[in-house]
């Protein structure tokens, strides 16, 4: 139980200790106990004549594999992993940073909830009996995303300068969402509603990676974060739905009508605040349990592949052409988006070094069949457009289709090379993350150019 | 001699309890004592002792206490509890039965 005069040895011990502390299953008291053991062992080994670093190697080897060790600790203290889920300050962050974070997160969530109510003060009330005005839909992302960006600026320790740069896209978005004189029931207005969040999500991503968009695995982490956030958001929404049902049930039981509260406060404020809380939860638990999005990917890749193949076989068998209606184009866009998502999240969870396996071949089959299906659909749609001319919806949907098609075609090529062991998986992963800004740029184009181009129809 | 993992795991509890029945001790000393008792044949991976000790602590078979050691650091000492002694007696009975049965059949094999 001695401190060693040998400074390099002390450094090695310190490094080993930091490494242990990262394990969620090990508390600091356990680390201390294990360190005392290591030191006892080191004393005994140096006494029989081993040099400091030799003794360290032997002692660490005898301690056994850290993975096995933390697994055993987790088994002996199974509650620890679960507690970490919510109150997650890592062993190396001091407790007050954790508390500061909770404070920041709660303030931002409340701010987001209140931000939704600000327009009501300036003549944009939410009336429980009407549809909410499109003003709210157009600006939905502007209520929350800036605050989410502030959270990441704070969390990643970015300076005021980067903050000001990131304020630019939001300011621009606020302008373009609100200056155009949209006519009533305008298609381009709905397009703005749908595309503005996609464009702005890139700005959030820029804050998420701490301003270093091209460094390290930052972009892939942002993809993982987005997927997990979507899952958490859905879960929170389900909980919120239960709250709404109970609110109605209980207040109606005493003959009160809670409509104005649910429609005017609970849903809009809850939806805004939940995004901040969800982001914080994803950040907090990222290292604790396995991510959900890749698990869902593994589940649904075979199902979608089967669906596409059966669809193609049926179409070939019956020879019936695709009946182009208004929704068909959007439907096939969504299909491609799902397939791109499956490829992206499969890539996010994959070890780039591992050799191709059965699942990769399945992915290739999925991508190839999606390409064929989309090719057939595109041909049908092109015929219709040449017949009836361009509308904003058709051009937007067609543009998206092309963007996703290019992504998938090149992915299929890279996948084929990888499955035949001609190239590495890292190339495919790089292609996917390099493509991310394309979606945002296209979405920004739709928001900025389409309304004037199509005369605000 | 390569001991089977299951046997090592199964014998861990009675060994630790028996060693603690001799007197309070701490992790490193327990490992040393095990090596000594088995003539070096029972080699545990050092780290693995601690999850075992913590499990015994949760089951109430041993109690733990941090005590200051010579130079400002502290050491966690374990002491067998009353339930621990009961458990040790029960385990002892079980191992005796196994031991007796094996001995019986191996003696026969020798004499035949």
Count of structural domains within chain B = 1
Chain A residues inside the 8 Å CB shell of B73: 1, 36
Mean of pLDDT values over A394-418 = 89
- Return the DSSP state at B79: E
Cα nearest neighbour of B32 on chain A: A41
* Spatial contact of A147 and A423, defined as CB atoms under 8 Å apart: no
Higher pLDDT, B69 or A66: A66
**Is the ipTM beyond the 0.90 threshold?**
no
pLDDT band at A272 (very low <50, low <70, confident <90, very high): very high
Q: How far is B95 from chain A (nearest CA, A)?
A: 24
What residues 32-51 of chain A have any CB closer than 8 A to a CB of chain B? 32-34, 36-37, 40-41
Q: In this model, does residue A211 exceed pLDDT 80? A: no
Which of the two residues, A233 and A260, has the higher pLDDT score?
A233
Of A1, A68, A75, the CB nearest to B69: A1
Report the 10 Å Cβ neighbour count for A31.
Answer: 18
Poorest-pLDDT segment among A90-94, A105-109, A134-138, A360-364: A90-94
Per-residue b or e along A426-438, where b marks 16 or more CB atoms closer than 10 Å to that residue's CB: eebbbbbbebbee
Q: What percent of chain A has pLDDT over 70?
A: 91
Q: Taking residues A316-341, what's their average pLDDT?
A: 80
Buried b (16+ CB within 10 A) or exposed e, B36-72: eeeeeebebbbbbbbbbbbbbbeeebbbbeeeeeeee
Question: pLDDT confidence of A88, banded at 50, 70, 90?
Answer: very low
Pick the more confident residue, A296 or A93: A296
Percent of chain A with pLDDT over 90: 25
Q: Is the entire prediction scored with pTM above 0.80?
A: no
CA distance A127 to A137: 14
At A80, the pLDDT band (50, 70, 90 cuts) reads low
Return the top range by mean pLDDT from A57-71, A278-292, A325-339, A396-410: A396-410
Quote the tokens at residue A239: 């909980």
Concatenated DSSP letters of B62-77: EEEEEEE-TTS-EEEE
CB A192 within 8 A of CB A451: yes
pLDDT at A446: 92
Say what the pLDDT of residue A440 is: 93
CA separation for the pair A66, A30 (Å, rounded) = 13
For A324, the 3-state DSSP assignment is coil
Lookup: tokens for A210 = 């701490």
Nearest CB to A62 within list B45, B55, B75: B45
**Residue in A40, A77, A78 to test binding to B, most B beta-carbons within 10 Å:** A40
Cβ contacts of B74 on chain A, cutoff 8 Å: 32, 36
Give the span between the Cα atoms of A405 and A442, in whole angstroms. Answer: 14
- The CATH code of the domain that includes B32 is 1.10.10.10
Six-digit token string for A29: 């008291």
Q: Which pLDDT does position A319 carry in this prediction?
A: 79
- From residue B65, alpha-carbon distances to A29, A154, B33, B49 in Å are 12, 41, 20, 17
Residue A85 has pLDDT above 50, yes or no: no
Using CA atoms, how far residue A55 sits from A30, A41, A95, B91, B108, in Å, is: 22, 8, 35, 37, 48
User: How is B25-57 classified by DSSP, letter by letter?
Assistant: B-HHHHHHHHHHHTTT-----GGGHHHHHHHHH
pLDDT tens profile A145-182? 999 999 999 888 887 888 888 899 999 999 988 888 88
Q: Which of A1, A64, A68 sits opposite B73 (nearest CB)?
A: A1
Residue B3 reports pLDDT greater than 80: no
Q: How far B107 CA lies from chain A's nearest CA (Å)?
A: 37
The pLDDT of residue A79 is: 63
d(CA B8, CA B16): 12
Q: Where are the domains of chain A?
A: 7-86, 96-285, 292-453
- Spatial CA neighbour of A70 closest among A23, A13, A14: A23
What pLDDT does B30 receive? 92
3-state secondary structure of A257: coil
More confident residue, B50 or A70: B50
Residues A351-374 pLDDT 10s: 767 788 888 889 899 999 999 988
pLDDT of B40: 80
Domain range spanning residue B66? 5-111
For residue A26, give the chain B residue with the closest CA: B51
pLDDT band per the 50, 70, 90 thresholds, residue B71: low
Is A213's pLDDT higher than 90? no
């Amino acid at each position: 139980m001695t401190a060693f005069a040998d400074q390099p040895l002390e450094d090695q011990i310190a490094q080993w200790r930091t490494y242990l502390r990262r394990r969620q299953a090990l508390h600091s008291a356990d680390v201390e106990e294990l360190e005392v053991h290591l030191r006892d062992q080191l004393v005994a080994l140096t006494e029989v004549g081993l040099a400091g670093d030799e003794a360290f190697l032997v002692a660490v080897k005898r301690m056994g594999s850290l993975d096995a060790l933390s697994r055993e600790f987790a088994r002996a203290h199974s509650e620890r992993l679960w507690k970490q889920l919510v109150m997650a300050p890592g062993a190396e962050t001091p407790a007050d940073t954790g508390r500061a974070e909770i404070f920041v997160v709660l303030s931002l969530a409340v701010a987001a909830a209140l931000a939704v109510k600000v327009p009501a003060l300036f003549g944009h009330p939410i009336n429980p009996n009407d549809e909410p005005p499109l003003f709210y839909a157009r600006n939905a992302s502007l209520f929350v995303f800036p605050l989410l960006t502030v959270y990441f600026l704070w969390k990643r320790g970015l300076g005021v300068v980067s903050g000001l740069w990131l304020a630019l896209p939001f300011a621009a978005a606020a302008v373009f969402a609100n200056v155009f004189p949209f006519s009533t029931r305008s298609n381009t207005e709905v397009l703005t509603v749908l595309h503005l969040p996609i464009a702005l999500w890139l700005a959030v991503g820029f804050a998420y990676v701490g301003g270093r968009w091209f460094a390290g695995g930052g972009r892939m982490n942002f993809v993982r974060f987005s997927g997990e956030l979507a899952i958490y958001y859905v879960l929170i929404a389900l909980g919120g739905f239960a709250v709404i049902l109970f609110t109605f049930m209980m207040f109606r039981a005493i003959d009160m009508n809670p409509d104005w509260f649910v429609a005017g406060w609970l849903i809009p404020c809850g939806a805004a605040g939940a995004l901040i809380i969800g982001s914080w939860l994803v950040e907090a638990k990222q290292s604790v349990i396995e991510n959900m999005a890749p698990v869902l990917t593994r589940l649904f890749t075979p199902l979608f592949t089967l669906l596409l193949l059966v669809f193609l076989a049926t179409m070939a068998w019956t020879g019936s052409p695709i009946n182009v209606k208004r929704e068909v184009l959007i439907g096939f866009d969504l299909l491609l988006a799902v397939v791109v998502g499956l490829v992206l999240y499969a890539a996010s969870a994959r070890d780039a070094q591992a050799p191709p396996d059965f699942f990769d071949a399945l992915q290739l089959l999925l991508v190839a069949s999606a390409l064929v299906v989309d090719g057939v659909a595109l041909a049908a749609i092109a015929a219709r457009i040449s017949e009836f001319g361009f509308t904003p919806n058709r051009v937007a949907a067609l543009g998206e289709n092309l963007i996703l098609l290019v992504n998938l075609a090149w992915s299929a090529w890279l996948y084929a090379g990888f499955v035949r062991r001609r190239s590495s998986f890292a190339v495919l992963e790089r292609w996917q993350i390099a493509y991310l800004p394309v979606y945002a740029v296209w979405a920004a184009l739709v928001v900025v150019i389409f309304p004037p181009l199509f005369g605000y129809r | 001699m390569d001991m089977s993992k299951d046997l090592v795991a199964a014998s861990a509890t009675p060994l630790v309890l028996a060693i603690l029945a001799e007197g309070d001790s701490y992790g490193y000393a327990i490992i040393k004592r095990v090596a000594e008792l088995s003539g070096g044949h029972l080699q545990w991976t050092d780290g693995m002792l601690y999850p075992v000790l913590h499990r015994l602590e949760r089951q109430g078979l041993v109690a733990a206490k941090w005590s200051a050691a010579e130079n400002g650091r502290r050491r966690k000492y374990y002491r067998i509890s009353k339930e621990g002694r009961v458990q040790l007696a029960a385990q002892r009975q079980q191992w005796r039965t196994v031991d007796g049965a094996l001995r019986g059949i191996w003696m026969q094999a020798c004499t035949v």
